[in-house]
Amino acid sequence: MRTARSRTGPLFQLGARRQRAERLHARPSATQHAAARRLLLARVVAVALALIGAWLPASAAHAAGTVTIADRSPKEDDGRWKLKMTINYGGTPHLGHIPMLFSFTPTVHYERALTDKSPETPILVRTPLQNQQSINESMDVGFSDASGKVFAITKFDFVLRRDHGFEAGEYDLVIKRAGDGVQMGQKQKITLQGDNPIMDRRAIVFSGEKKKKDDKTEKADAEKSNEPAKEQASEGETAPDAAEAEPSAEETPPSEAPPPVEPKQGGCGCRLSPDDAATPIALPLVAMGAAAALARRRRARRA
């Protein structure tokens, strides 16, 4: 028969301790959970600080100082736009005047066009632009006064002109120092308000319009056209009188005949009567007869 083991012996106590240790390892306490969370949070904060430390020098090298524009949508005045700026150098510059490059990149063009729907009044068409060449203007910005004292902040007025290629529309403005190429402030968007030249976008119609004449000009033309008819009529009326004034052929005396021409001597020795010489048909007959007589004489001589 099997005997029951006592639960108070040393072996039983050792097994109970092992079970308790296993339970403690299997189920961590709340303090262990809190410690793990703190460790994870510390690691996340360390990574964030490392990223911020790496980003700050790059941003400082990319942009320095600040640029503030009083009015980003100036209106055109006699073909010009004025930008009033406040430039903070980010520290005291080493020179009183710093050369800077102002780059204006067109993004939207404002076109005034006449269309078929609006043939008389121009309409405003905003045309987006891409990959446009920027308009660069180089200027020396002064950070000193008349006494030569240098300041970190200055006020600067920049004037844009149409004869430099500017038109009404939207632009992206980037300002850089000409010496090291460092950008001053952030890129800014400005809008130049004004009226660009009108473009005719209407369909082309190949039909001419007839000019309307005034009533006075029509009457004058009609009178001018009637004047030749009246002159012809007046001439026609005077024509019979002129015809009557001229004498008829029967009434006019015959003109004297030309003097008679004496016939030339020679030929066959035959004389023609004045009536035969006057008729044109007798001349060829006389010539034929003379030729026949000559031929007979020659034959007779040869015989």
pLDDT in tens, 59-92: 444 568 899 999 999 999 999 999 999 999 999 9
Contact of 98 with 89, CB cutoff 8 Å: yes
Return the H-helix or E-strand segment holding 54.
helix 30-62
Burial class, 282, CB count within 10 angstroms (exposed 0-12 / middle 13-18 / buried 19+): middle
Count CA within 13 A, CB hemisphere, residue 250.
0
Give CA–CA dist 145/9, Å, rounded. Answer: 100
The percent of residues above 90 in pLDDT, for the chain, comes to 40
Give me the residue label for tokens 């729907």. Answer: 117
pTM to 2 decimals?
0.49
Contacts 24+ apart (CB under 8 A), 144-151: 144/96, 144/97, 148/96, 150/92, 150/93, 150/95, 150/96, 151/92
Considering the chain, what is the average pLDDT of its residues?
76
pLDDT at residue 60, rounded to an integer = 41
Reading the block at residue 225, the tokens are: 């056209």
Q: Distances in Å between the alpha carbon of 46 and those of 111, 128, 243?
A: 54, 45, 134
**Angle value at C-alpha 62, between 171 and 160, nearest 5 degrees:** 25
Q: What are the tens digits of pLDDT across the range 15-67? A: 666 666 666 555 556 676 777 777 788 877 777 777 776 555 444 445 688 99
* pLDDT-based confidence at residue 208 (cuts at 50, 70, 90): low
Contact 128, 55 (CB under 8 A): no
Which residues is 100 bridged to in the sheet?
139, 177
Tell me phi and psi for residue 44, to 5 degrees: -65, -40
* Residue 223 token pair: 């009178």
Instruction: Outline where 195-254 has alpha helix (H).
Output: 215-245
Given this model, what pLDDT does residue 182 score?
93
Q: Which of 16-25, 126-135, 226-235 is the most confident on average?
A: 126-135
Distant-in-sequence contacts of 204-213, Cβ < 8 A, 24+ apart:
none
Contact at 8 Å (CB) between 100 and 85?
no
Q: How confident is the model at residue 249 (pLDDT cuts 50, 70, 90)?
A: very low
| Distance in angstroms (rounded) separating the CA atoms of residues 104 and 164 | 12
Give the residue among 163, 26, 157, 6 at the shortest CA–CA distance from 83.
157
CB atoms inside a 10 Å sphere around CB 237: 9
Instruction: Determine the 3-state secondary structure of 115 from DSSP.
Output: coil
